[in-house]
Structure 1
Amino acid sequence: MALRPIDNALSIVPDGLRPKKQAKVSIQPQKKASEISVNDENKAPLPQPIDASVDYVASEDLKPFQDPESNIQSLVEGLDSKDWVKVCQSLNDARRFSLYHPGLLLPVLEKVMLVVVKSMKNPRSALCKTSIMAASDIFNAYGEKLLSTDSSAFDQLLLQLLLKASQDKKFVCEEADKSLTAMVNSIAALPLLQKLRGFVNHGNLRVRAKAAVSISNSVYKMGSEEIKEFGSVTLLQMASDLLNDRLPEAREAARSIVLSVYEAFTENEKLDTEEDWQSFCQSNLSMIQAQLMIKVVSSQ
């Protein structure tokens, strides 16, 4: 049975569809940038705004530093700034380091990730989107190395991306979806699934759905041996919860997970009949769960 990953916002975006030009967005900051805290989520904007702008620069339009060694210290200072526009600029510099000088950024990568997380929480859309774009470039540059950094930094980053992908502000949501796609494409499925599995029971139904999509796309990448190593039964139990979810996105992701496990099962065991599948499900799952798995496969 030939399977395809589910078609949703996290589907892989071909390089040709990425924007080729910088999109300039006008920003109305507070009167005094020095009074702004990067993590101030509650203050209303002050009167008499000054003009400022933030460029959303596509990854392919970012350039390497001519003298990266002399710029790394100013990067750290910029990330600590209380001026949110300066933080945006520093996050774009962090993207340049991750793409062209990853070795220089690696010693301060954990700090960068924490600033990215902090900026995602900021109510300013420009700062939030810039931080999400930085997360995408960091995923593409470092992949599984991110899992060897402070685990809490990656966990916080993953949570914030799921939350931003679940919100109503479309341009932020779409950017977060792209970042989650970059994460799935750059990190091996097994360790990533260990991080994602806890979110299928998250209290926010949109977070559950976004996590389910990332899980299904990760499982689709796995071979039969990897699925067996992670646990076919574990994946089916995970999917059974999502099959009854309120959001169609989560239910479709769950069906994709089940079909990936079914394909791996028939390939690994040299089986091709639904009877063997039914026996496997009934032997390892509850009656209700087994019925759900059987129904998904028989409906294909």
Structure 2
Amino acid sequence: MALRPIDNALPTTPDRLKKQTKVAVSIQKQSGCGVNDENNAPLPPSGDATIDYIISENLKPISDPESKIQSLIEGLYSKDWAKVCESLNNARRFALFHSSLLLPVLDKIMLVLVKAMKNPRSALCKTSIMASSDIFNAFGDKLLELSTSDAFVNLLLQLLLKASQDKKFVCEEADRALTSMVGSIAPLPLLHQLHVYVSHANLRIRAKNAVSASKCVSKMGIEEMEEFGLAKLVQMAADLLNDRLPEARDAARSIVISTYEARTKNEEQKLETWQSFCQSNLPPVHALAIVKIPSQ
């Protein structure tokens, strides 16, 4: 009896080829998505576009900006991700050189930034983070006044998420954006926004948030710290002091030192005043840990 040759490949028949084609098309339909769909990662097309990351110092003003503000919005909502990147760079130019034209559409811009940061394409994500830095630097305190609270909170959360991820070049860009945010916005209103994420379930987000919060506190005067609440500050620090990540613990110590200096500035018996303050506002175990930090 003739033996059948052993072959791992299944026979290729016309019917089987049809089935394979249908499966391939089905996979492409499920995987493919618009640039603005953050829930699916689009398959990179052949000959993918190259994106230039332009530093802020190399950006130039826009010629005839009044006539181009509408096309900016259209470009930001394009389904072509490369076009969105180009439009984000134009939004940066508007922010730095023609900020008054960007004010009426600021909320829309922030929504696009959040959506682009959620996109699986690293190029689109990084460009949107760079745009957020320029918007922080351009608008400063006005950003909190002119945008809805939800728009800013969502943008802040995305920056904290990106600063917490493993892609180094995205993470570093998000860290720079958070630094720009702290440097350009008044510390008291910003600390109120950061306080939302002090107890976030993600330990990396907690740590990144704690670092920004500690920088805010270090910039605050005594009156601003008292307005926020000295007791609230030490309670926030106590929650972070036993955190798993060293970034969070270091930030907690920094907050404690700033609070200690503010609370005991005009006191002769500084350590006694500090001990009494901590014992009045913290559980005994937390109070004991916080009291020791200034002397360390």
Query: Normalised by the shorter chain, which TM-score bucket?
Result: 0.7 to 0.9
CA distance, structure 1, for counterparts of residue 43 and residue 66 of structure 2: 37
Please show how residues 253-264 of structure 1 align to structure 2 within 5 Å.
253-264=251-262
Distance, in Å, in 2 between the alignment partners of 1:261 and 1:286 is 17
Aligned counterparts, 1:85-234, within 5 A: 85-148=82-145, 149-234=147-232
Task: Tell me the residue number matched to 1:286.
Answer: 283
Contact 2:33 2:41 in 1 (8 A): no
**Which residue type is aligned with residue 228 of structure 1?**
E
Q: Structure 1 residue 273: deviation in Å? A: 2.6
Q: How many Å separate the matches in 2 of 1:79 and 1:42?
A: 19
**Structure 2 counterpart of 1:235:** 233
1:265 and 2:263 aligned: yes
Give me the whole-angstrom Cα distance separating, in 2, the residues matched to 1:35 and 1:89: 19
- 1:15-67: CA deviations, max 9, x gaps? xxxxxxxxxxxxxxx9xxx9633224324415x51242111000000000121
In the TM superposition, what is the alpha-carbon distance from 1:193 to its structure 2 partner?
Answer: 0.9
Does structure 2 retain, via aligned residues, the 8 Å contact 1:216–1:253?
yes
**TM-score when normalising by structure 1:** 0.85
Do 2:217 and 2:255's aligned partners in 1 also have CA atoms closer than 8 Å?
A: yes
Q: Give the Cα–Cα distance (whole angstroms) in 1 for the partners of residues 238 and 281 of structure 2.
A: 13
CA drift at 1:82: 0.3
Aligned to 2:21: none
Question: What secondary structure does 2:52 align onto?
Answer: strand
Shift of 1:285: 2.1
Q: How many residues align?
A: 265
Aligned equivalents of 2:195 and 2:184: distance in 1? 18
**Superimposed CA distance per residue, residues 128-172 of structure 1 (whole angstroms, 9 cap, x where no aligned partner):** 000000000000011111112111111110000000000000000
Aligned-partner residue type, residue 109 of structure 2: V
Percent identical among aligned pairs is 65
Task: Give the aligned partner of residue 248 of structure 2.
Answer: 250
Larger radius of gyration: 2
Task: Supply the AA of the counterpart residue of 1:123.
Answer: P
> Aligned partners of 1:295 and 1:35: how far apart in 2?
55
Q: Which has the larger displacement, 80-89 or 142-151?
A: 142-151
Q: Distance in 2 between matches of 1:36 and 1:167?
A: 23
Matching residue of 1:26: none
Deviations 1:256-295 (A, max 9, x none): 000000111121x333531221122112222122111111
- Tell me, in whole angstroms, the C-alpha distance in 1 between the residues paired with 2:120 and 2:272: 54
How far apart, CA to CA, are the structure 2 residues paired with 1:223 and 1:270?
A: 17
Moved over 4 A (4+): none
Alpha-carbon spacing, 1:35–1:219, altered in 2? closer, same or farther (3 Å)? closer
* Residue identity opposite 2:162 in structure 1: K
Deviations 1:193-229 (A, max 9, x none): 1111121110000000000000000000001111111
Partner of 1:18: none
TM-score normalized with structure 2 length: 0.86
Structure 1 residues not aligned, in runs of 5+: 1-29
Contact 1:121 1:128 in 2 (8 A): yes
CA–CA distance in structure 2, aligned partners of residues 272 and 129 of structure 1: 51
Seen in structure 2, the aligned counterparts of structure 1 residues 45 and 283 have a Cα distance that, compared at 3 Å, is same
Q: Which blocks of at least 5 consecutive residues in structure 2 are unaligned?
A: 1-27
**Aligned partners of 1:265 and 1:271 also within 8 Å:** no
Q: Of 48, 54, 62, which aligns to 2:51?
A: 54
Aligned equivalents of 2:142 and 2:248: distance in 1? 29
Q: Does residue 295 in structure 1 map to residue 292 in structure 2?
A: yes
CA distance in 1, matches of 2:205, 2:78: 31
Structural RMSD (CA): 1.6
Contact 1:243 1:251 in 2 (8 A): yes
